[in-house]
Amino acid sequence: MRQLLGERLHGHAEIVGEGGTADEAVAATGELEPDVVVLDFRTAVGNLDETVAAIKESHPQTAVVVHTGVPRYLIEDQVTAAGGVYSPKNEPEHLIALVGSLARRPTEAASRDS
């Protein structure tokens, strides 16, 4: 998934870090202070609320995008309640536009997770 995210965001965002677990995403956020963190839902499943909360606790200005193949009607409310923003995997243009709109600086955009 990290490779796919990198391909989707290439030329649209500067990738400043990545990780394979929710804990790695939280740690990378603390070190790198990105504008946007893109989480694959499978990485954060079971602890989505905790993962988003941990990211927001150390960096409240960082937007958290949950990129997932789970249909919007099944998961968007949970993502929103956790403090994140839903992004469907089957709409790569949505992710690109979303990351661009959430980034504080157009040339710096995303830290990503698997």
**pTM score:** 0.83
Which residues sit opposite 67 in a β-bridge?
40, 87
CB-CB contact of 79 with 85 (8 Å): yes
End-to-end alpha-carbon separation of the chain, Å? 5
Tens digit of pLDDT per residue, the chain (114 long)?
A: 778 888 888 888 888 888 888 888 889 888 898 999 998 888 776 688 999 999 999 889 999 999 999 999 999 999 999 999 999 999 989 999 999 898 864 444 444 444
